[in-house]
Amino acid sequence: MVIANDLNMRRCDLLIHNTKRMCTANLIVTNHGAENFPYCSLAKDCSGSYKDPCKLQKLEFDRILCDVPCSGDGTIRKGHDMWRKWNSGMGNQLHLLQVNIAMRGIALLKVGGRMVYSTCSLNPVENEAVIAELLRRSGNSVELLDVSSELPELVRRPGLSTWKVQDRESWFQSHDEVPHNRKNVVFPSMFPASNSTEESHTVCGDVEVNINNMNSFSRNINIEETSKLNQDMDGVSVSPTKILECTSNIVSSKFPLHRCMRIVPHDQNSGAFFIAVLHKLSPLNGSKIKDTKIQHTLGTDRTIQFRKEPEPETRPYETTLTRRQHNVSEVNDTEMLGRGQKLGTDSQTSKHKNSSEVEMVLNDVDSILAESGDRMELQKQSRWEGVDPVLVLNDEAVIKSIQSFFGIKESFPLEGHLVTRSPDNARRIYYVSKSVKEILELNSKVGGQLKIASLGVKMFERHRSKDPCPCAYRLSYDGLSLVLPSISERILYASALEFHRLVQYRSISFAHFTDTRFGEQAASLTPGCCVVVLLEGNRRVDSICKDPSTIAVVCWRGKGTINVMVSPSDRKDLLERMAYRFG
């Protein structure tokens, strides 16, 4: 079962459209800010009457792909507009958001599970700095895995262990060098950890060399063999002897950041990507996480406004997170990261200057920051405006009429697996798997914390035909391949010629079929929905529907015609599949 989440509702709609062709009942699409993704735990949100050891108690994941918003400098080759949009401060603006999203992902990860952190940027502030901060906050609960042996044909480079941070055309090696008036913008977590010097790094002017990681590159460099040669690095000619003579040493990170993967465009003619794989060893321990209090200080003569939000990959987040350590020795994942989020503004007078502080506190039970058009507004989680509720279809009469009309076998359970988004007179019915059903039950018990944009696969739709039909619903093409092996009624088998003509012309009368036998079979059906299956070669009829590669289409048997009930794009796809298969 997969839960796919995106903050932008338009991107959710695109995801729903693209996954429709998969015909899977194991998918839920949600619309949340990833840093506030609901924990959905029964431990605190529900009374003991709901607690059943046989039921799902909290939402945890075996695998998480944390593809965070980033500055997108790695997409410049394909997105030429990035040359106009990009600036050097974008990575700094997104750093805390990336940390918060990744920390939420770790909290939602099962012990023993893995999380992949990825960006399409090469900025270490968005990459290695985030991973180092995750490892620092998580203590011994999380480890960074070495996956260098995976995908050996993929050309990759190791992560950096030291880097500088740029702000307003100045470069800083440590947070101590940052001017006092910029410390609320450039945070300590952006720099390499300063507690260890286990890895040796050398800097010569603007050229940085990682000696320990030199042999980890896909194209190895041997310093001894090239001692008499100059190396051209970014247009600067530096000899190995000069490198070793440099005296400017930078303290590197104590974490094994070389286990991260950097994919650069010129290695294999691709875009640029950063990838890190994290393994959760134990529940997060709050006593090992240091206090982190980061604030934005605004002048008293300024007002706080929500600005128009750019594209997700270049979204500047000005509000930062304030995390307070609680006076307890240990807390679990729910207690540490399940506090929700609210936006508060406190006006205070400092000894040095007047300022107003904006603090964002996790509180995903009470409120979240959700996107509405081009503005961010506060919405209560129990009231998802513009999103229809998910209701389990319990109408036995409707379910039995569908089962009997299409001859759906008992091995394909419908009861308890059908849901709808309409409170009365359901227009569309979706089929969900057992795993999705458990998530829905959990979400119901915790007060509907998940904002579900889509789930399962659309299986049935209420028809509007005036033709007399004992079943009020017809099959949906979206879910046809899933239910087809279990249907025993209302099936017609057509030759390649008849099937192609039917899809091409959409509607054909019984008398105009070239195969008179097929026309007679269609005429013998009672009015209503039916399925036309492509009959290929000498294949047995009873085995065709069980083959996943079978081509079939949903039709409507009218008074004197057979009509194809698919969209123009699906018709085009069917014709292309036939052309590929039959030439």
**Binding site as annotated, residues for S-adenosyl-L-methionine:** 6, 67
Instruction: Report how far residue 41's alpha carbon sits from residue 56's, in angstroms, rounded to the nearest whole number.
Output: 9
- By the 8 A CB rule, do 108 and 221 touch? no
Instruction: Report how far residue 122's alpha carbon sits from residue 550's, in angstroms, rounded to the nearest whole number.
Output: 45
CA diameter of the chain:
94
SS (H, E, C) 433-468: CHHHHHHHHHHHHCCCCCCEEEECEEEEEECCCCCC
- The values of phi and psi at residue 9, to 5°, are -65, -30
Instruction: Report how far residue 62's alpha carbon sits from residue 477's, in angstroms, rounded to the nearest whole number.
Output: 32
Instruction: Report how far residue 4's alpha carbon sits from residue 167's, in angstroms, rounded to the nearest whole number.
Output: 35
> Which residues touch 52 (CB under 8 Å, ≥6 apart)?
none
> Which residues touch 464 (CB under 8 Å, ≥6 apart)?
none
Q: Which helix (H) or strand (E) holds 371?
A: strand 367-372
Instruction: Report how far residue 505's alpha carbon sits from residue 343's, in angstroms, rounded to the nearest whole number.
Output: 57
DSSP single-letter state for residue 32: -
Q: Which of 12, 40, 120, 471 is catalytic?
A: 120
Residue 120 is a catalytic residue: yes
Measuring CA to CA, which residue among 298, 350, 342 is closest to residue 322?
342
- DSSP codes, 115-173: EEEEES---TTTTHHHHHHHHHHHGGGEEE---TTSSTTS--EEPPS---EEETTEEES
Size of the chain, expressed as the number of residues it contains: 583
Give the Å distances, CA to CA, from 98 to 117, 256, 555. 10, 20, 48
Q: Which helix (H) or strand (E) holds 570?
A: helix 568-582
Instruction: Report how far residue 474's alpha carbon sits from residue 60's, in angstroms, rounded to the nearest whole number.
Output: 36
Instruction: Report how far residue 87's alpha carbon sits from residue 365's, in angstroms, rounded to the nearest whole number.
Output: 36
Measuring CA to CA, which residue among 544, 494, 486, 552 is closest to residue 519?
494
What is the residue type of 199?
Answer: E
As annotated, the active-site residues are 120
